[in-house]
Amino acid sequence: MCGIVCYVGEKSAKPILIEGLRRLEYRGYDSAGLAVQNGNEISCYREVGKIANLEALVDGKSMEGSTGIAHTRWATHGEPSVKNAHPQRDQEENVYVIHNGIIENYHLLKKQLEKKGITFRSETDSEVLAQLIAFYFDGNLADAVRKTMSQVEGTFGMGVIHRHVPGQIVVARRGSPLIIGVSDEGHFVASDVSAMVRYTNKVVHLQENELATVTADDFSILTASAQQIQRSTETVEWRAEDAELNGFPHFMLKEIYEQAYTIKNAFRGRLEPGEGVPKLGGIMPVWEDLKNCRHMVLVACGTSYYAACVGKYIFEKLTEIDTEVGLASEFRYRKLNFPSNTFVVAISQSGETADTIAAIKEAKRKGARLLGIVNVVGSTISRETDAGIYNHAGPEIGVASTKNFTSQLITLTLLALLLGRHQHLSLTEGIQAIRALEALPDQVRELLGQSSHIEAIAEKYFHCANWLFLGRKYNYPIALEGALKLKEVSYIHAEGYAAGEMKHGPIALINPEMPTVAIIPDDEMHEKMLSNIHEIKSRKGPVIAIATQGDEKVREIADDVIEIPPILDFLTPILSVIPCQLLAYYCAKFLERDIDKPRNLAKSVTVE
Ligand code: G6P
Q: Tell me the per-residue pLDDT of 542-570, one tens digit each, with 9 for 90 and over.
A: 999 999 999 999 999 999 999 999 999 99
| pLDDT, mean of residues 360-375 | 95
CATH, domain range 246-446: 3.40.50.10490
**Could you tell me the distance, in angstroms and rounded to a whole number, from the CA of residue 363 to the centre of ligand 1?**
20
Alpha-helix residue ranges (DSSP H) falling in 366-448: 380-384, 403-421, 427-448
CB atoms within 10 A of CB 249: 12
Angle, in degrees to the nearest 10, between helices 13-24 and 51-58:
160
pLDDT at 608: 72
Q: 74, 149 in Cβ contact below 8 A? A: no
pLDDT at 197: 87
The atom of ligand 1 lying closest to the CA of 300 is 15
* CA gap 440, 313 in Å, rounded: 19
Nearest alpha carbon, ligand 1 atom 3: 302
Burial class (CB in 10 A: 0-12, 13-18, 19+), 341: middle
Nearest alpha carbon, ligand 1 atom 15: 348
* CA gap 453, 463 in Å, rounded: 17
Q: How far is CA 458 from the centre of its chain?
A: 26
β-strands 342-348, 219-223 pairing = unpaired
| pLDDT, mean of residues 466-479 | 98
Domain spans of the chain? 3-242, 246-446, 449-608
* CA gap 262, 256 in Å, rounded: 10
Q: How far is CA 62 from the centre of its chain?
A: 36
Burial class (CB in 10 A: 0-12, 13-18, 19+), 289: middle
Q: 336, 507 in Cβ contact below 8 A? A: no
pLDDT grade, residue 327 (50/70/90)?
very high
Burial class (CB in 10 A: 0-12, 13-18, 19+), 527: exposed
Domains 246-446 and 449-608 share a fold: yes
* CA gap 341, 403 in Å, rounded: 32
| pLDDT, mean of residues 230-259 | 89
567 SS3 class = coil
Active-site amino acid positions: 2, 603
Of the candidates 206, 204, 112, the one whose C-alpha atom is nearest the C-alpha of residue 159 is 206
For a mutational test of ligand 1's pocket, the pick from 604, 606, 607, i.e. the residue with the most ligand atoms closer than 8 A to its C-beta, is 604
Longest dimension (CA), the chain: 79
DSSP secondary-structure letter at 111? Answer: H
CB atoms within 10 A of CB 361: 13
**Could you tell me the distance, in angstroms and rounded to a whole number, from the CA of residue 305 to the centre of ligand 1?**
9
pLDDT grade, residue 219 (50/70/90)?
very high
DSSP per-residue letters across 134-194: HHH-SS-HHHHHHHHHHH--B-EEEEEEETTSTT-EEEEEEBS--EEEEETTEEEEESSGG
**Could you tell me the distance, in angstroms and rounded to a whole number, from the CA of residue 242 to the centre of ligand 1?**
19
User: Measured between alpha carbons, how far apart are the two ends of the chain, in Å?
Assistant: 11
Of the candidates 405, 316, 386, 380, the one whose C-alpha atom is nearest the C-alpha of residue 345 is 386
CATH, domain range 3-242: 3.60.20.10
Q: 169, 5 in Cβ contact below 8 A? A: no
**Could you tell me the distance, in angstroms and rounded to a whole number, from the CA of residue 477 to the centre of ligand 1?**
16
For a mutational test of ligand 1's pocket, the pick from 192, 298, 303, i.e. the residue with the most ligand atoms closer than 8 A to its C-beta, is 303
* CA gap 443, 447 in Å, rounded: 6
pLDDT grade, residue 480 (50/70/90)?
very high
- Give the length of the chain: 608
Instruction: Measure the CA dihedral 569/574/576/581, to 10°.
Output: 170
Of the candidates 539, 536, 556, 538, the one whose C-alpha atom is nearest the C-alpha of residue 547 is 556
* CA gap 567, 447 in Å, rounded: 13
Type of residue at 350: S
Phi, psi angle pair for 46, to nearest 5°: -140, 150
As beta bridge partners, residue 204 has 180
CB atoms within 10 A of CB 318: 24
The atom of ligand 1 lying closest to the CA of 488 is 8
The beta-strand segments (E) located in 479-605 are 493-498, 516-520, 543-548, 560-564
**Could you tell me the distance, in angstroms and rounded to a whole number, from the CA of residue 1 to the centre of ligand 1?**
10
Q: Which residues line ligand 1 (CB under 6 A)?
A: 301-304, 348-350, 353, 356, 399-401, 601, 603-605
The least confident of 18-32, 140-154, 317-331 is: 18-32
pLDDT at 1: 67
Nearest alpha carbon, ligand 1 atom 5: 302
Residue 540 has pLDDT above 90, yes or no: yes
Residue 229 has pLDDT above 90, yes or no: yes
Phi, psi angle pair for 372, to nearest 5°: -125, 135
The least confident of 177-186, 233-242, 388-397, 443-452 is: 233-242
For the chain, the 3-state helix, strand and coil shares in percent, each to the nearest 5, are 40, 25, 35
Contacts of 1 (CB under 8 A, 6+ apart): 27, 28, 74, 76, 100, 101, 176, 602, 604, 605, 606, 607
* CA gap 589, 582 in Å, rounded: 10
Q: 27, 74 in Cβ contact below 8 A? A: yes
Number of alpha carbons in the 13 Å side-chain half-sphere of residue 164: 10
* CA gap 465, 492 in Å, rounded: 6
* CA gap 571, 436 in Å, rounded: 8
* CA gap 4, 97 in Å, rounded: 10
The atom of ligand 1 lying closest to the CA of 328 is 15
Type of residue at 116: K
CATH topology of domain 449-608: Rossmann fold (3.40.50)
Q: How far is CA 21 from the centre of its chain?
A: 17
Integer CA distances (angstroms), 566 to 230, 275, 469, 529, 554, in order: 53, 24, 21, 17, 15
Number of alpha carbons in the 13 Å side-chain half-sphere of residue 532: 28
DSSP secondary-structure letter at 281? Answer: G
| pLDDT, mean of residues 582-588 | 98
pLDDT at 594: 92
DSSP secondary-structure letter at 604? Answer: S
93 SS3 class = coil
Type of residue at 293: C
**Mean pLDDT rounded to a whole number for the chain:** 94
Type of residue at 603: K
- pLDDT: which is higher, 74 or 116: 116
Residue 240 has pLDDT above 80, yes or no: no
| pLDDT, mean of residues 158-168 | 98
Residue 515 has pLDDT above 90, yes or no: yes
CB atoms within 10 A of CB 505: 10
